[in-house]
Amino acid sequence: MGKLVELWTKQLSIGIEDIDNQHLRLFEIMEEVITIIQKGGDDLLVMKTISSLMGYTLEHFTLEEYIMEKAEYPEVEAHSLLHKEFSDQLIKIKISFQEKSSPNEQLEKDIHKLLADWLRSHIREADGDYASFVQSKA
């Protein structure tokens, strides 16, 4: 597995600077979680980092949803459901770590997949779509 932050490319930029920065930060925190797990960091630190990832995710989604609502973007509800899907995945990852119900390699894979597949296509498609809408209104 390559480094997660390297999966961030200019192509993922949606043209709203704050959001682009937050996306990159999400990549970084997800990378941090994986690195700590790989290094065999203690459980408390892993849990703390997963919690900050969840907190940051919430903050990020709240900002996106605010931007969409303000611009009266018609797909805001469908988009929010996608955000919920991502948050649910994170909760699942946190619970399996807490309960030690899957091996750490599996968790690393799950986090990697969530970022490399889900988040990247979400940014390219769903976020790209609301960004064009917002920009066309501005």
The residue within the footprint of Fe ion, chosen from 127, 133, 134, 137 (CB under 5 A), is 127
**What are the structure tokens assigned to 124, written together?**
């390219």
**Is the CB of residue 111 less than 8 Å from the CB of residue 92?**
no
| x/- map, 54-73, Fe ion, by CB under 5 A | ----------x---------
Q: How many CB atoms lie within 10 A of CB 51?
A: 12
Nearest-5° angle of CA 50, CA 51, CA 55? 120
Judged by CB under 5 A, the stretch of 31-39, 42-50, 108-116, 121-129 that binds Fe ion is 121-129
In whole angstroms, the minimum distance from the beta carbon of 103 to Fe ion comes to: 30
Which range touches Fe ion (CB under 5 A), out of 31-39, 48-56, 105-113, 123-131?
123-131
Q: Provide the Cα torsion 47, 52, 54, 58; round to 10°.
A: 160
Query: What letter represents residue 111's amino acid?
Result: I
Between 37 and 53, CB nearer to Fe ion: 53
Tell the smallest beta-carbon distance from residue 28 to Fe ion (Å): 17
By CB under 5 A, tell whether 20 contacts Fe ion: no
Q: Are 56 and 25 in contact (CB under 8 A)?
A: yes
Residue with the two structure tokens 């091996």 = 103
Q: What token pair was written down for 119?
A: 């988040």
CB closer to Fe ion, 3 vs 84: 84
User: Which of 47/54 has CB closer to Fe ion?
Assistant: 54
Q: What's the min distance (Å) between Cβ of 5 and Fe ion? A: 19
Positions that interact with Fe ion (CB under 5 A)? 64, 127
